[in-house]
Amino acid sequence: MRLRLTTHVRDAIRNHGARGYPNEVCGALLGRDGAAEGNGAPREVTAVVPLENRREDSPRNRFSVTPEDVLRSERAAREQNLELVGWYHTHPDHPPRPSEFDREHAWPWYSYLILGVAASEPGEMKSWRLADDRSGYAAESIEVG
Ligand SMILES: [Zn+2]
């Protein structure tokens, strides 16, 4: 499984993460699921939709997408003739691995890109997909360009 980001998308996520530090930020990934065409092509992300982190109880370490976020992101995708292929969020001062909370709130199929941000500097980016039976994640390689 491969995820390809344009440099613009990579920079937009890194800038969003740095701006939001020390809070988590999140957003939607829009693009095309190339692998669905059966040619082994990567899933491509060509645009993002930054979202509000509405978790007021714990904005530093809790990310969750609301039904309104999903509707809004799907609408933005349709308007740009793209698909909603995943979600991104940041882990301020934590490595970019899905937490137990993340797993409980994730859906299969989507790409979950996580960016580590340490002392407001964007760091490592990783992407994950939840197994269909929700038992765990598989890492997805990231390409930029
Ligand atoms: Zn997380």
Read off the amino acid at residue 15.
Answer: N
Residue 107 in this model has a pLDDT that exceeds 70: yes
Task: Supply the pLDDT for residue 53.
Answer: 67
Q: Which of 24, 37, 68, 83 is catalytic?
A: 24
Could you read off the pLDDT of 113-138 as tens digits, one per residue?
A: 999 999 999 999 999 999 999 888 99
State the average pLDDT for the chain.
90
Neighbouring-strand partners of residue 92: 117
Coil, helix or strand at residue 19: helix
Q: How far apart are the first and last CA of the chain?
A: 17
The domain made up of 2-144 has a fold known as Cytidine Deaminase; domain 2 (3.40.140)
56 is annotated as an active-site residue:
no
What's the CA gap between 52 and 18, in Å, rounded? 15
CA 38 – ligand 1 centroid, Å: 30
- How many whole angstroms from 145 Cα to the centroid of ligand 1? 25
Q: pLDDT tens across 36-78, in order?
A: 666 778 999 999 999 876 666 655 556 678 888 999 999 999 9
Tell me which of 127 and 101 has the higher pLDDT. 127
Domain positions in the chain are: 2-144
